[in-house]
A = this chain, B = another copy of it.
Amino acid sequence: MSKRGLLIVVSGFSGAGKSTVTKYLVKNYPGYALSISATTRDPRPGEVEGKDYFYVTKEHFREMIASDSLMEYAEYTDNYYGTPKAFVEEQLAKGNNVILEIEVQGAFIIKDKYPDAVLVFVTAPSMETLIKRLRDRKTETEEKIQKRIAQMSREYRYIPRYEYYVLNDEVEKAAERLDAVIRSESYRTERCPEILEDIEKYLGGTK
């Protein structure tokens, strides 16, 4: 099967666990690739260059914008985040479903440019759980947490533009739900013109 893969945009509030879920999916299910974003933010402890992000300077990031080598980019809590184009295109052409883990602004830029993209919003079981998870992250200062909550307040009105929620209560279950969503999308009639062609070829002459 050399059928083109699907482009999947995964967003979610900070603390919803979207990175954990997408990484689990890509590692444990076949046919997926995770787009690696470029960012100007500092690495968190344990994050690895070229695996979690490409960590670049603001100057370098602006060069990538200028050379049109990003599918989308956005500024978020004083840093740039963007999606390098070449890798995504290559994976889609190979038939892999490519997951872009990006913020709300970037998600809608992608959807406008690639209307076929599927938009998924990862949620915690409740907002209470989400805020608790965020506070339990030792890397976040109270100031950063407040900034993130303010960001959520600006973003949440756009959530209905996402097509699916994936509940992240447990990472294994969440990955399984995300896989179901993506496979289901790949079965959509408009994504499978070859099936109707086969039927038409056979029945076209029988009338």
Contact = CB atoms under 8 A, between A and B. Distances in A.
B187 A183 contact: no
Could you say how many copies of this chain the assembly holds?
Answer: 2
Contact of A189 (B127, B162, B187, B198): B162
A151 to B, nearest CB: 10
A65 interface: no
B188 A153 contact: no
A195 interface: yes
Given A150-B206, A180-B180, A180-B183, A156 B189 contact: no
A48 interface: no
Interface stretch (A30-38, A69-77, A163-171): A163-171
A203 B153 contact: yes
A192 interface: yes
Nearest to A185: B184
A25 to B, nearest CB: 14
Given A127-B199, A153-B206, A206-B153, A183 B177 contact: yes
